[in-house]
């Protein structure tokens, strides 16, 4: 009976301006001689300055009270139909006028150096937005908020390139998604281009073709693709007599690994096979006492078969449909 084994070591933001109360210049109903004063009153001083000032005040009182916005914005002359009355520079100092800035979202391809967003005012601080180009290492749910119970916005396939922000809350990281943002598990992002996103190949494996003996066409396709994309694997198992029909019918390949030490590599290989399950016509995948099938596309625990090899801790087993 064929027992899979390794044959070699792996290759290694001025307060608001408040309106001031204007003086009441309403004319009295009767005229009396004004009493003498030792000191001129405010009104005396005001009227002594001539008719120009009085005329200006009269015009203002006739046109309407001038009110400054509580936010320091442009003044508005209530009841006035003259546009210039609302935009006169003498009513609001430049320093009190607020300015807003427009933030331009950067794409990952523009991140060779930080880029300052354009602004409408030179006095407004420049805004910077940095995004990191990352890749998904598995199928990811994208949520509206950074929590498992957050509204689901959609999902991302394995090996998809995304633009991630520097915002992290707990286990989640904020990314660009659609026309807005979403949150995904940070642990499922990587800065390395995942080999799982690669395609398949029919190129011959440099380790030889002996493993291909008596294998079906799709099984050979799996062997050659895994061999090309995962060079750290140096041992495979193919056809063997006896046991379940998958190996003896040439429908299965065992991808040998060092138990524990190469567990992460095994999961990457398994994820790659899942990604291309349709291409390879996969019937099932087994690794570390768990099984995945296209009909129930999630990992399920298997019963203990009694050993490292029988429980598939030392290899990824993949079989194709008949």
Render pLDDT for 122-162 as a digit per residue (tens, 0 to 9): 333 334 557 898 988 777 899 999 999 999 999 987 778 89
In three-state secondary structure terms, 175 is strand
* Residue 322, pLDDT score: 87
CB 189 within 8 A of CB 166: no
Q: How far apart (Å, rounded) are the C-alpha atoms in residues 51 and 133?
A: 71
In three-state secondary structure terms, 180 is strand
Residue predicted with more confidence, 192 or 63: 192
Q: Which has the minimum average pLDDT: 10-19, 223-232, 244-253, 282-291? A: 10-19
In tens, the pLDDT along 191-230 reads 877 776 678 999 999 988 999 999 999 999 999 999 999 9
CB 226 within 8 A of CB 233: yes
- Determine the average pLDDT of the residues in 237-249: 90
Q: Pseudo-torsion of CA 245, 229, 139, 292, nearest 10°?
A: 10
User: What are the extents of the domains in the chain?
Assistant: 47-96, 105-197, 198-320
What is the average pLDDT value for the chain, to the nearest integer? 72
CA dihedral sign, ordered 272, 274, 277, 282: positive
Q: Write 283-288 long-range contacts (CB < 8 A, 24+).
A: 283/246, 283/251, 283/319, 283/320, 283/321, 283/322, 284/318, 284/319, 285/316, 285/317, 285/318, 285/319, 286/312, 286/316, 286/317, 286/318, 287/312, 287/315, 287/316, 287/317, 288/263, 288/312, 288/313
E strands in 251-320: 252-256, 282-287, 290-293, 296-301, 315-320
* Contacts for 17 with CB less than 8 Å, ≥ 6 apart: 68, 70, 72, 92, 96
In tens, the pLDDT along 18-54 reads 444 443 434 444 444 444 454 555 555 544 444 444 4
Residue 319 has pLDDT above 90, yes or no: yes
Residue where the block lists tokens 């395609």: 199
Both tokens of 84, joined, read 């210039």
DSSP single-letter state for residue 11: P
- What count of Cα atoms within 13 Å lies in the side-chain half-sphere of residue 109? 0
Q: Which residue(s) pair with 173 in the sheet?
A: 168, 184
Q: Indicate the class that CATH gives domain 105-197.
A: mainly beta
Residue 185 has pLDDT above 80, yes or no: yes
Residue where the block lists tokens 């570390």: 288
| Three-state DSSP string of 13-38 | CCCCCCCCCCCCCCCCCCCCCCCCCC
* Residue 104, pLDDT score: 41
């Amino acid at each position: 009976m064929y027992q899979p084994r390794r044959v070699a070591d792996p290759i290694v933001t001025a307060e608001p301006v408040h309106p001031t109360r204007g003086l009441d210049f309403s004319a009295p109903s009767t005229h009396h001689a004004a009493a003498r004063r030792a000191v001129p009153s405010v009104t005396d001083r005001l009227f002594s300055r001539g008719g120009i000032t009085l005329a200006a005040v009269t015009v203002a009182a006739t046109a309407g009270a001038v009110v400054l916005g509580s936010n320091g914005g442009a003044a508005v002359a209530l009841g006035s139909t003259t546009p210039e009355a609302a935009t006169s520079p003498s009513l609001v100092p430049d320093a009190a006028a607020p300015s807003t800035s427009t933030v331009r979202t950067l794409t990952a391809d523009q991140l060779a150096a930080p880029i300052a967003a354009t602004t409408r005012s030179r006095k407004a601080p420049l805004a910077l937005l940095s995004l990191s180009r990352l890749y998904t290492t598995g199928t990811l749910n994208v949520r509206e908020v950074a929590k498992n119970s957050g509204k689901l916005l959609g999902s991302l396939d394995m090996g998809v390139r995304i633009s991630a922000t520097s915002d992290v809350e707990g286990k989640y990281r904020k990314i660009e998604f659609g026309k807005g943002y979403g949150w995904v598990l940070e642990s499922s992002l990587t800065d390395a281009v995942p080999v799982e996103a690669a395609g398949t190949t029919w190129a011959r494996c440099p380790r030889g073709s002996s493993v291909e003996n008596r294998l079906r066409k799709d099984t050979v396709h799996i062997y050659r693709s895994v061999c090309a994309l995962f060079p750290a694997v140096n041992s495979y198992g193919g056809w063997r007599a006896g046991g379940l029909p998958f190996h003896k019918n040439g429908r299965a390949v065992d991808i040998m690994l060092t138990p524990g030490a190469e567990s992460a590599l095994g999961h990457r290989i398994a994820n790659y096979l899942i990604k291309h399950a349709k291409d390879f016509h996969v019937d099932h995948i087994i690794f570390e006492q768990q099984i995945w099938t296209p009909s129930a596309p999630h990992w399920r625990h298997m019963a203990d078969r009694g050993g490292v090899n029988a429980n598939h801790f030392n290899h990824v087993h993949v079989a194709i449909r008949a």
